[in-house]
Structure 1
Amino acid sequence: MGTTRHLARLQFTEEGPAVEGEWTVPGTAQDRYTEWVGLYGAGPTVVIQLIEEIDGRERVARKWTAQGEVEGPTPVP
């Protein structure tokens, strides 16, 4: 069975540097995602993502931008 990581990723601009947390427990990553949306989600260029990574392949489960939230799955190239 593969390795699964759960990530929360915060970027203040879409292509900018990222702050990222990594957990093995999905609920912890979800909590951090929710916290970051509350703290930073009003920013006009902010991007916050909840990501599941299995064997190095990322899938965006939820994504927050100034336009609101989009729920996945969205593969990340």
Structure 2
Amino acid sequence: MTGPAPDPQRFHLTVSATGRPVMHGWWSRESTARDKFRDWIGAYGRMPAAHVCMVERIGAEERLMESWPEDTPPAHRAETSRTTTPSPKGP
């Protein structure tokens, strides 16, 4: 007897350069996603203003797991988190 099949879209990686998307992919295994994260830094890290991000999705929730470089501007990180903050002006 086997358990449920792993979610093929559990780990999402994105690459952006100068604020524009370059590439993305989904993996079911964290170890595979982490290997790709490291590989993509090597392959795309020299692009202007490169950013590589790894997010874990469980149901409707998403959690930022890795971000490269670590000093990426908050605006890039906000794109990957599904958290929104209310506008000071209100709705």
Task: Tell me the TM-score normalized by structure 1.
Answer: 0.71
Aligned 8 A contact 1:10 1:48 in 2:
yes
CA RMSD between the two structures: 2.6
| Runs of 5+ unmatched residues, structure 1 | 69-73
Corresponding residue number in structure 2 for 1:19:
23
**Higher gyration radius (CA):** 2
| Runs of 5+ unmatched residues, structure 2 | 1-6, 73-77, 83-91
What SS is found at the alignment partner of 2:14? strand
Aligned 8 A contact 1:46 1:66 in 2:
no
Corresponding residue number in structure 2 for 1:31:
35
Find the aligned partners of 1:44 and 1:17 in 2 and give their Cα distance.
12
1:18/1:54 CA distance change after superposition, 3 Å: farther
Aligned 8 A contact 2:14 2:21 in 1:
no
Q: Percent identity?
A: 26
AA aligned opposite 1:62: E
Structure that is richer in helix per residue: 2
Structure that is richer in strand per residue: 1
| Structural mapping, 1:1-77, within 5 Å | 5-14=10-19, 16-65=20-69, 67=71, 76-77=81-82
Task: Tell me the TM-score normalized by structure 2.
Answer: 0.61
Find the aligned partners of 1:44 and 1:21 in 2 and give their Cα distance.
21
| Per-residue deviation, 1:66 | 8.2
Aligned length: 69
